[in-house]
A and B are shown apart, each in its own frame.
Chain A
Amino acid sequence: MKIALFNNRNDLREFIRKYGTVIGALILFIVFSLIIERFLTASNILMLLRQMSMLTIIALGFNFVMGAGGFDMSIGSACGLIAMVFALTLLGTGSLLLALSAALLCGLLVGLINGMLVAYIGLPDFIATFAVGSIIYGVKMLMTRGNPVSYPSDISPVFAFIGRGFVGPFPFPVIIMFFIFILTVFVLYRTSFGRRVYAIGGNPVASLYAGINIKKYRLATFVISGLSVALASIILTSRLGSAQPLAGEEFLLDVIAVVFLSTTMFGEGEPTPSGTFIGALIISMLNNGLTMLNVPYYFQFITKGSVVIVAVLLAVTLGQKLRIKFL
């Protein structure tokens, strides 16, 4: 029997193209709920949300870069550097405010460098941000010789709260995540800035001819990406209780997976905040569920890679144009 909802095959294709990823997320959720005993419990769901908060925040920042047609390969490296800068400032001065400012400043600086190289000097974004990531990696390893920076756990109760605190039943990072999500939606869809970011991604030449200073806007998207990495890095450092130079290195792979999923979602061909959120949910569910199933850690990489391939393949075979440019 035919499903009455779809009059013909094209409607069905269109539906899968738009909502395939969302349906995938739902199926994954249901399967995990059925086969993992403690998956569908309030505490696990909250933990899942807390785990995904950092990934989501970075991916939302990446959403701006990719919305304007760019790419940022430096996020993983930058995360560890910012954590070191943060911890060292906190240890050196004992002032949380100074440490937070230093971390955000560091994120801003990384974004500025990326943005200058890509938007103003005109280097290809993949190469420029990849090179910056490599430089950052060297700097942070030289700074610390690869050792973590620890600080006394009672150095700042407010700081501990950022990563580990609760407001009512909700972990504080989850609240930050939702706040950033709403802010992103607002900026991208309700402000002239967001409108122009997507316009530049849609057609940089036409945007230039319409009188938009596309260099300025592209620079700004990299700065936003840098700042969002800084925020995620602060939460991560607070959660771990020490600053690891290599912490967050795997964010790069996860964030790329998330934004690719986001790009294929809703048939838009460009990343959307809600797509990014669902993408982050899928990747985090995989991390969480596979860990609970005692699947070896490195197997998760195989799964994540496969998920991205399937999602992109679905979108491409169903005739959608992706806004992803290579070099």
Chain B
Amino acid sequence: MPEFIGINRNILEAEGLGKEFNDVWVLRKIDFDLRTSEIHSLVGENGAGKSTFIKILSGVHSPDEGMIKFDAKPVVFHSVKDSEDTGIRTVHQEINLVPFFTVYENIFLGSDRKRTVLGLPTVDNKTMRAEAARVLGELGVELDVNKKAHLLNASMERVVEICKVLVQKPKVIIFDEPTTSLGESERVRLLEVIKNLKKKGIGIIFISHNLEEVTGISDRITVFRDGAKIDTINEEDASPAKIISMMLGDKTYYDYKKVCSHRIDEVCLEVENLNTHRLKDISFKLYQGEILGIAGVVGAGKSEIARALVGIDRLDSGRIRIHNQDYQPSPERAVTSGLAFVPEERQAQGLILNYSVMKNITLTYLKKWCRWGFIIDSVEEKKSTEKYIKSLSIKTTGPTQLIKFLSGGNQQKVILARWLDGDFKIGIFDEPTKGIDVKTKEDIYHLLDDLAKKGNSAIVLSSYLPELLSVCNRILVVHEGRIVTEICPSEPGAQEKIMSAMLGGVKVS
């Protein structure tokens, strides 16, 4: 019968898929295919284009070039619903369960089975319970369907999320980092569940930062780098070391290279045994004129270090000293102690979107532009803003233009200008070049170097290695809330060592 010819036929194909945002191509000419009964992994650094790619497949973004074929027929997704109706479902990284609903109620959330009682449509709990139990059984998981969701452990929560997708009878499932935040035994169990799905003929796209996991479970692996597909390799040819070298490539990414060190032997920030709900025993020293990198995958605890230092997350214990003085973190005291913080999420954490360029720049050190400490001197304020627009070459129509009309790179420069306006000593930059074009990136690297030259210090948090390697004096690597190693960018094999530490100690030959 024709349907059974080639049981592993291509279910989903991408041909020359690409996407641009603000004239920057974040994804270019991606050819990709997924077969039925296959686990096909996507790997790449943050910003390599994986998430954009799966967002196109799941209908969140529409592609700017290329096409998608489903079951050999071209398809166009105008919305997530279009993609779901075709049979593509995503198990997201976040858990979205209603805590006081039972397992089966969560599984059928939004797709209740109905039956008619005395002419009235009612919820058919019996069918839903039976169907939920059946799906769980197929996965090989023993779980009471009447258990409330808030009583589940992390891997069971994930299993319920998978069941939510399974009752929709999908043909393709995308798993976006399903094993993060799981313990070792839970992780193994979940991988077994995913392997069981494969036996049912479903095509699976698997995304993970854990390369051991990827090589253990996949049939094929596709590596992304800088918005392009590097290659697709078969399971038998794959090893973590090989994948890492494919992820990194051998070209240098930018012309920028740190020329000389401005570090002097004077400790300006000392962190001892810092503990928060996400960090464990963080200790490090920052020297004057030094640029210290902190590397780690998303969720490893980089941002949490920054948030603890500026007093947004509560410290459970630990001690911080700035220039040999004890410092109790709070956002306000951070400013007075000379700490500057450029957060990762520009729009959500950095900008007042309905404010002008000028108002966003002067927000932190507004008192500087006030007479008697509270009346704003708008003439001086404007003059200083114009100075920064010129010196940082911010592309804007003027100080009064609303910030939301600027491009990402220029918005980032505005946040940098906000801190340059004051006299900070230690700058904390969380993913300072995320989503920014190459030219602006280099501007920012030069700015960091200038700051160091003037005797300021900086902590750069990034998951993008070439950036850390070219700007930093030292690099600390965090993994699951701990600092696991310290590496000097100039030592041989630094890049591989950092990448390996970031991924939890994978052996790299």
Contacts and interface: CB of A to CB of B under 8 A. Distances in A.
Bound pair: A and B?
A: yes
Interface of A: 190-193, 195-196, 198-199, 202-203, 205-213, 268-270
Contact of B334 (A207, A211, A270): A211
B354 interface: yes
A249 B353 CA distance: 37
Given A190-B375, A192-B366, A199-B359, A210 B418 contact: yes
A195 B310 contact: no
B374 A210 contact: no
Given A202-B352, A209-B310, A211-B364, 9 more contacts: A192-B366, A195-B359, A195-B363, A196-B366, A199-B352, A208-B331, A211-B332, A211-B341, A213-B331
B312 A209 contact: yes
A191 B352 CA distance: 17
B332 A270 contact: no
Contacts of A192: 366-367, 370, 373-374, 376
Contacts, number: 74
15 contacts: A191-B370, A191-B375, A192-B373, A198-B352, A199-B352, A202-B352, A206-B351, A208-B312, A209-B343, A209-B350, A211-B335, A211-B341, A211-B364, A212-B363, A213-B332
Interface of B: 310, 312, 330-332, 334-335, 341, 343, 348-355, 359, 363-364, 366-367, 370, 373-376, 378, 418
A207 B363 contact: yes
B53 to A, nearest CB: 29
- Top-3 shortest CB links A-B: A211-B335, A202-B352, A192-B366
Contacts of A198: 352, 355
Nearest to B348: A205
A205 B355 CA distance: 14
B367 A199 contact: no
B332 A195 contact: no
B374 A206 contact: no
Nearest to B345: A205
A213 B331 CA distance: 7
A199 B376 contact: no
A202 B353 contact: yes
Contacts of A270: 354
A201 B266 CA distance: 41
A188 to B, nearest CB: 11
Contacts of B376: 190-192, 195
Given A202-B353, A209-B310, A191 B374 contact: yes
Given A212-B332, A270-B354, A206 B375 contact: no
Contacts of A269: 354
Contacts of B363: 195-196, 199, 207, 210, 212
A211 B362 CA distance: 12
Nearest to B306: A209
Contacts of B349: 205-206, 209
B309 to A, nearest CB: 12
Contact of A206 (B332, B350, B370): B350
